[in-house]
Amino acid sequence: MKKYLFKLLCVVLIVGLAMPAAAATQQSEEEILFTVVFKGQSSPKNAEKVISDLGGEIVYSVPEIGVVQVKAPANFAKKAIGSSAVSAANPSLLFQLPEVKSIPLESNEINTEEAYLFDEFQWDIKRLTNNGATFAEHSGSHDVVVGVIDSGIDLNHPDVLTNLLPGSKNFVPPGGVYGVDGSETGDVNDVQDRNGHGTHVAGSIAGNGAMLGVAPNVGHKAYRVFGAEGGAYSAWIMAAIVAAANDGVEVINMSLGGIYAKGQIFYTDPETGERVRLGSDIAEYVAYTRAAKYAESKGALIVAAAGNDAVDASSPKNVTDFANSQYGTLGYEFKGASVFAPASIPNVVTVASTGPKDELALYSNYGAGFIDVAAPGGNYEMYMQYLTEGNFNEYLKERLFEKEFAFSSVPDVKYILNDKEQVIGYEYVSPSYAWNVGTSMAAPKVAAVAALLFDEYEGMTPNKAKVLLKQNAEDIDKTGTDKEFGHGLSTVYSLFE
The Cα–Cα gap between 347 and 368 comes to 16
- CA angle (244 as vertex; 205, 97 as ends), nearest 5: 60
Check whether 4 has a pLDDT greater than 60: no
Edge-to-edge strand ranges of the sheet holding 264-268: 275-279, 264-268, 332-335
Half-sphere exposure of 82 (CA within 13 A, CB side): 7
**Active site (annotated) includes residue 440:** yes
Catalytic residue (one of 61, 139, 150, 234)? 150
Q: What is the pLDDT of residues 458-469, one digit of tens each?
A: 999 999 999 999
Contacts of 71 (CB under 8 A, 6+ apart): 31, 32, 33, 34, 56, 57, 59
Measure the CA–CA gap between 322 and 338, rounded to whole angstroms.
9
Q: For 393-413, write each residue's pLDDT tens digit.
A: 999 899 999 999 999 999 999
Residue 108 pLDDT exceeds 70:
no
For 22, 47, 64, 72, the CA distances from 57, given in Å and listed in that order, are: 20, 10, 19, 6
Tens-digit pLDDT profile for residues 112-132:
457 889 999 999 999 999 999
Mean model confidence pLDDT for the chain:
89
Q: What is the mean pLDDT of residues 5-18?
A: 37
**Distance from C-alpha of 210 to C-alpha of 204, rounded to nearest angstrom:** 12
The single-letter code of the amino acid at 206 is: A
The more confident residue out of 36 and 331 is 36
Asked whether residue 480 carries a pLDDT value surpassing 90, the answer given is no
Contact present, 465 and 422 (Cβ < 8 Å): no
Which residues, in sequence order, are CB contacts of 41 under 8 Å at separation 6+?
A: 65, 66, 290
Element (H, E) at 424: strand 423-436
Is it the case that residue 273 has pLDDT exceeding 90?
A: no
Centroid of chain to Cα 215: 19
- Amino acid present at 120: E
Q: Tell me what pLDDT residue 75 has.
A: 85
Confidence of residue 100 (pLDDT cuts 50, 70, 90): very low
Give the model confidence (pLDDT) of 304-314 as tens digits: 999 999 999 99
150 in catalytic set: yes
For residue 478, give the 3-state DSSP assignment: coil
241-260 as b/e: b if 16+ CB within 10 A: bbbbbebebbbbbbbbbbbb
Give the residue from 204, 73, 117, 176 showing the smallest Cα distance to 416.
176
**Pairwise CA distance, residues 452 & 389, whole Å:** 43
Question: Is there a catalytic annotation at residue 197?
Answer: yes
Q: What's the pLDDT at 113?
A: 59
> What percent of the chain lies above the pLDDT cut of 90?
77
How are beta strands 251-254 and 301-305 bridged, if at all? parallel
The whole-number pLDDT of residue 26 equals 43
Distance of CA 349 to the CA centre of its chain: 13
Q: Which of 43, 139, 151, 197 is catalytic?
A: 197
Distance between CA atoms of 196 and 149, rounded to whole angstroms?
13
In the predicted structure, residue 280 carries a pLDDT above the cut 80: no
- Contact 102/408 with Cβ under 8 angstroms? no
pTM: 0.92
Q: What is the DSSP letter of 53?
A: H
Q: ∠ CA 320-323-329 to the nearest 5 degrees? A: 130
pLDDT band at residue 110 using 50, 70 and 90 as cut-offs: very low
Q: Which of 408, 440, 482, 490 is catalytic?
A: 440
Distances (CA, A) of 433 to 186, 211, 294: 27, 9, 35
Q: Which domains does the chain have, with CATH numbers?
A: 25-93 (3.30.70.80), 107-496 (3.40.50.200)
Give the pLDDT band of residue 229 (cuts 50, 70, 90). confident
Q: Could you give the percent of the chain with pLDDT greater than 70?
A: 91
Quick check: 145 pLDDT over 80? yes
Contacts by 71-74 with C-beta closer than 8 Å and gap 24+? Answer: 71/31, 71/32, 71/33, 71/34, 72/31, 72/32, 72/34, 73/30, 73/31, 73/32, 74/24, 74/29, 74/32
Strand extents, DSSP E, 129-202: 145-150, 169-170
